[in-house]
Amino acid sequence: MIEKIIVNSRTTEINGSANLMNNAFQSSGLTSDAFLSPVFSTLNQTNAALGAAIDRSKAESILAEKDEKRDYEVRAVGYLVQGYTYYPDPAIREAANTVEQVFDKYGFAVIKESYVTESSHINSMLGDLAAPPIQSALALLPGVGENIAALQAAETDFENTQAQYAGEQAEDDTKSNATALKKEVATIINDDLVVFLRTGERFQPDTYGKFARTITEIIDKNNEQVKKRRKKEKPEEG
């Protein structure tokens, strides 16, 4: 008997398994079947939305990493300049104080702001730091210029990444999330496809037997991966 797919599989596992099922269906000779055709139409539509949600999640994760990188570079600039304000040489201390005044207009607080606001403030800071009088002060502070260049690079990288994923992020709050869509896909597989094929395999094996076995294999492989992962995560008793 065909087992149902484990609902608590990962979103990527459900998505991938549904794709495999559709591939099998397209080559099964059953694409005009009165029951299976609408089932797969619904399954593919929902699974496509799940795939898009997974992509959006990946985009958000990548953008968060880029944001962490520019936050690090903001700190690198600020802390190095602060360090120079304690330097023994008065000329270097004075240069550091000059640069620090510019940095303090924005401060470390920028890293806690929204993505858009942080970008605006970082770009304003970089513009102020590029002014000729500040450049003269920076020339006396080894390493600060390099840190500023790294911040500029990190900010540019963040903005490019944000632009790349702008489409996926647009109106994200109105789109179904991956977890809810995963459950919908699993429900279609279990309550519609599996239930139908159990009956079809039993009473019309010549028509549905081969396809049912293929679906069984896909589900079994998915469930096996889930069970293996559970065993690894389960703490040993002792």
Q: Please compute the mean of the pLDDT values over residues 147-155 and round it to a whole number.
A: 97
Q: What's the pLDDT at 61?
A: 85
Q: How many residues does the chain have?
A: 238
Q: What is the dihedral of CA 170, 183, 20, 62, to 10 degrees?
A: 40
The 10s digit of each residue's pLDDT in 22-71 is 999 999 999 999 999 999 999 999 999 999 888 888 888 889 999 999 99
CB 127 within 8 A of CB 119: no
- pLDDT of residue 192 exceeding 70, the answer is yes
Residue 67 gets the label, from left (phi > 0), alpha (psi -120 to 50) or beta, of alpha
More confident residue, 59 or 2: 2
- 174 falls in which pLDDT band (50, 70, 90)? very low
Angle at 74 between CA 72 and CA 78, to 5 degrees: 115
Task: Tell me the one-letter amino acid at 163.
Answer: A
Q: Quote the pTM value.
A: 0.64
Q: What is the pLDDT of residue 173?
A: 44
pLDDT at res. 178: 87
pLDDT at 171 over 60: no
The torsion angles phi and psi of 189, rounded to 5 degrees, stand at -65, -50
Share of the chain above pLDDT 90, in %: 82
Mean pLDDT of the chain: 92
pLDDT of residue 235: 54
Answer whether 218's CB lies under 8 Å from 17's CB: yes
DSSP 97-140: HHHHHHHHTT-GGGGGS-HHHHHHHHHHHHHHHTSHHHHHHHTT
